[in-house]
Amino acid sequence: MDICEMEKSSFIDYPNKISTVLFIKGCNFRCPYCHNSHILNSKESIDETYILTFLENRKKYIEAVTITGGEPTLYNELYTLISKIKNKNFYVKLDTNGTNPDMLNRLVQDNLIDYIAMDIKTSFSEYNKVTNSLVDINKIKKSIKVIKNSNIDYEFRTTVCKELISEYNILDIAKHLNGSQKYILQNFRDGDTILGGINKYHSYKLEKLQEIKCIIENSFDVCIIR
């Protein structure tokens, strides 16, 4: 398992906590709007002992660790890494695309995780198109169930990009996630590191997203546009 980047302190990745962010190399999806394309095939690797020592030395300033990617649950070693971080008494947040419900379940059951953010890419019937991958949709559904049935904090989030996600898709997702804690409409932002190339995909107008949010927000405890 390669930790290919580390952001020493972030104020935005873990809700209401300062966290160190660890980026895990590789992903089983190829979403064209992915802004972490450099993480998917990175050649960098940071030594785990260096990271654990860094965390130990920064305990006074950092409360939490966010593990993101790529897709961290591709690796069985994730369980051991998180165990080591929890042993040092940090809060742990995991970002995932939901393709490994068994890993999520183990982490939840063993009280090794404090916050999960799961991407919901689109309507279940259109996952292959948006992710450019063959997706076992039952695994996505199982992850949603594991997360909703847990008693930890969580969010579901959808990157909304005009070319790939329609208003119908968002309403459909909201229907399936009905009763969840938090749902985030994450507007697409263009940039140099977009997997499908710069200037190809477009964000939604804020007014349109606000209109959609008004329709779906009662399905959730919290619904946010980001």
Positions touching ligand SF4 (CB under 6 A) are: 27, 29-31, 34, 36, 69-71, 97, 119
Whole-number Å distance between alpha carbons of 67 and 23 = 6
Instruction: Kindly state the smallest distance separating residue 67's Cβ from ligand SF4, in Å.
Output: 13
Least distance (Å) between residue 29 CB and ligand SF4: 4
User: Closer CB to ligand SF4, residue 62 or residue 75?
Assistant: 75
**Strand 182-187 to 91-96 pairing:** unpaired
- Residues 6 or more apart from 173 whose CB is under 8 A from it? 120, 122, 123, 156, 158
Which is closer to ligand SF4, CB of 62 or CB of 165? 165
Closest residue by beta carbon to ligand SF4: 34
In the complex, the smallest distance separating the C-beta of residue 150 from ligand SF4, rounded to whole angstroms, is 21
Long-range contacts of 57-62 (CB under 8 A, 24+ apart): 58/8, 58/9, 58/20, 59/88, 59/89, 61/9, 61/18, 62/9, 62/18, 62/19, 62/20, 62/90
Task: Retrieve residue 161's tokens.
Answer: 């990009």
**Tokens encoding 208:** 């349109």
Based on CB atoms, which residue is closest to ligand SF4, 86 or 143? 143
Query: Running DSSP on this structure, what letter comes out for residue 175?
Result: H
Based on CB atoms, which residue is closest to ligand SF4, 30 or 84?
Answer: 30
Q: Closest CB to ligand SF4 among 57 and 193?
A: 193
